[in-house]
A and B are shown apart, each in its own frame.
Chain A
Amino acid sequence: MIEQLPDGNSIGWMQAPPQWIFTHTVRFVGIVRIVIQDGEGFILIRRGKPVYYFFKHGRIELKGHSALDYFNSHPIIEFNLCKYSPEEFALAMKICNIEGEDPQGQTESPKVAPPEPVREPVPSTPTPVAESEVSELLLEEIPPRPLFHPAEPRVEEPATIPQPIMLEESDIKLIGQIKKLNGVVAISVFNDERNILLMGDVDIEPLLNIARSMLATSRKISPQVEWGSFVHMTLQSPEGNIIIAPYYDVYLCLFTTRTINIGHIRRILRDLQLTKRTQD
């Protein structure tokens, strides 16, 4: 089935919690192609609403909630956002046997099965889909369930629930373009609390620790200098370069090869800040 679906216009590969997909696709119409280990799957999404979940691992196929549960059983998944035109979306709906759907959402949606309030723990490997779950294929009105519950509050600190950071489609596209630059190994969007988005094949935690440490350094020196706003900090080592830069209310972290053109990256980061100031 996956092979039959239209390719769409790829915005870029990234790594993020499954929940990120649902909170960042409000204006997105298309397919989210997901790769987990040797298996692959997808979520058809129309303006933030998932209409079809599918995952295949060898001969095992998961559909509907089973596929969603499997995605949600991974803290981070790797996926590619591919935009669809109305025609492509209509074709994808047809291939997925979702009938009576208008990609623009102008016709009545088919009846959907309500989400089950409690589910059994998700197995670590995909399990075959049951016949009864075929009715779950149409999930338009079913909101995705949260993956993470807020951490248990510590005695000395009040519990805080991270608010979703909204990145526009244009932001993701831009970040994807930076990732495509020769020598950029990975790019992350992060804040003080967590990684928001990662594009590239790296282990996020060590990278994030370094990025946060650099951010702390920049915060220590910024009040002491009268050189305007902070544009970026780059740390070079034989392993490569790590660059952090403010991006709206969050930060970008780039991990690049040693040979990258720093001047080029510098220009891009400065342009980003100029654009931001213009928008402000």
Chain B
Amino acid sequence: MLKQTLTKFLVINGVQAAIIVEENGEIIESIKSGIVIDKKKLYSIISTIMVDSKATASRFGSSPLSMVFVEYSDNFIILGPMAEEFYLVIIAKNTANIGQITYEMKKNQEEIVSDL
């Protein structure tokens, strides 16, 4: 079920991967298209972003982390909380529409949470 829901993101132009991770960086489910990333590397990247960003956000008032967005000249990665301890990570080409992706993240949040 979760994989099916994640497939909705791959339909978006430029999206190459949709991944559900736990707070510790462990990958729960992932779906990829047109991208090859070493699993260890991916785990390392996601856990670094997640751990560091949560720590950074805690210094930013008492606010929880809403979303992290890291862009490079070719690709970008978005990480957003879905439910307590669970995050959705999207990897996309830089040509992808960020607004559309974040909209779909919010729109599918409930469904993802129910699939978890």
Q: Does B61 count as interface, using CB distance less than 8 angstroms?
A: yes
B74 engages A228 (CB within 8 Å): yes
How extensive is the interface on chain B, given as a class?
20 to 34
Number of residues from A at the complex interface, CB < 8 A: 33
Chain A residues contacting B66 (CB-CB under 8 Å) are 236-238
Does chain B have a CB within 8 A of A148?
Answer: no
Nearest chain A CB to B105 CB, angstrom units:
12
Which residues of chain B have C-beta atoms less than 8 A from A269's C-beta?
Answer: 71
Asked whether B57 lies within 8 Å of A235 as measured between CB atoms, the reply is yes
Shortest distance between the CB of B5 and any CB in chain A (Å)? 22
Contacts of B61 in A (CB 8 A): 237, 239
Which of B7-15, B43-51, B108-116 lies at the interface? Answer: B43-51
Nearest-Cβ distance from residue B17 to partner chain A, whole angstroms: 12
A224 touches B45 (CB 8 A): yes
Contact with A along B52-81 (1 / 0, CB 8 A): 110111011101111111111111110000
Whether B48 pairs with A220 at a CB distance below 8 angstroms is yes
Closest chain A residue to B42, Cβ basis: A224
Is there contact, CB below 8 Å, between A237 and B57? yes
From B99, which residue of chain A is reached at the shortest CB distance? A263
Contact in complex: A218, B44 (CB < 8 Å): no
Given A227-B75, A228-B74, A228-B75: A234 and B48 interface contact (C-beta under 8 Å) = no
Select which of B70, B73, B99 is within 8 A of A218 by beta carbon. B70
Query: Which of B74-105 touch A at CB < 8 Å?
Result: 74-77, 94, 97-99
Tell me if A209 and B59 are in contact (CB < 8 A): yes
Q: Decide: A216 near B52, CB < 8 A? Known: A224-B44, A238-B64, A242-B60.
A: yes
**B60 touching A224, Cβ below 8 Å:** no
Determine whether A225 belongs to the interface, using a CB cutoff of 8 Å to chain B: yes
Most buried by A among B48, B60, B64, B99: B60
User: What's the Cα separation between A231 and B75 when bound, in Å?
Assistant: 10
8 Å CB interface, B9-42 against A: 41
Asked if B98 and A263 make an inter-chain contact with CB atoms under 8 angstroms apart, the answer reads yes
Q: What residues of chain B lie closer than 8 Å to A230, measured between beta carbons?
A: 70-72
> Is A23 positioned at the interface, with any CB of B under 8 Å from its CB?
no
Q: How far is the CA of A273 from the CA of B71 in the complex (A)?
A: 12
Q: With A and B bound together, what is the CA distance between A213 and B56 in angstroms?
A: 6
In this assembly, does A24 line the interface, its C-beta being within 8 Å of a C-beta of chain B?
no
Bound form: Cα–Cα A258–B59 in Å: 17
Taking each of A221, A230, A269, which has the highest tally of chain B beta carbons within 10 Å of its own beta carbon? Answer: A221
A263 to B64, CA, bound (A): 22
Which residues on the A side are within 8 Å of B77 (C-beta)?
225
Q: Are A239 and B73 in contact (CB under 8 A)?
A: no
Whether A235 lies near B75 (C-beta < 8 A) is no
- Tell me if B56 and A273 are in contact (CB < 8 A): no
Residues of A94-146 at the interface with B, using a CB-CB cut-off of 8 Å, are none
Can you list 17 residue pairs at the A/B interface with Cβ under 8 Å? Answer: A217-B48, A218-B70, A221-B70, A224-B44, A227-B73, A230-B71, A231-B72, A231-B73, A232-B71, A234-B69, A234-B71, A236-B66, A236-B69, A238-B64, A239-B60, A262-B69, A263-B98
The 8 closest A-B pairs by CB, nearest first: A228-B73, A227-B72, A237-B63, A227-B75, A217-B52, A228-B74, A236-B66, A236-B67
Taking A210-B56, A225-B77 as known contacts, 9 extra A-B pairs with beta carbons closer than 8 A to each other, sorted by chain A number, are A210-B59, A218-B70, A227-B73, A234-B69, A235-B65, A235-B69, A236-B65, A238-B64, A263-B97
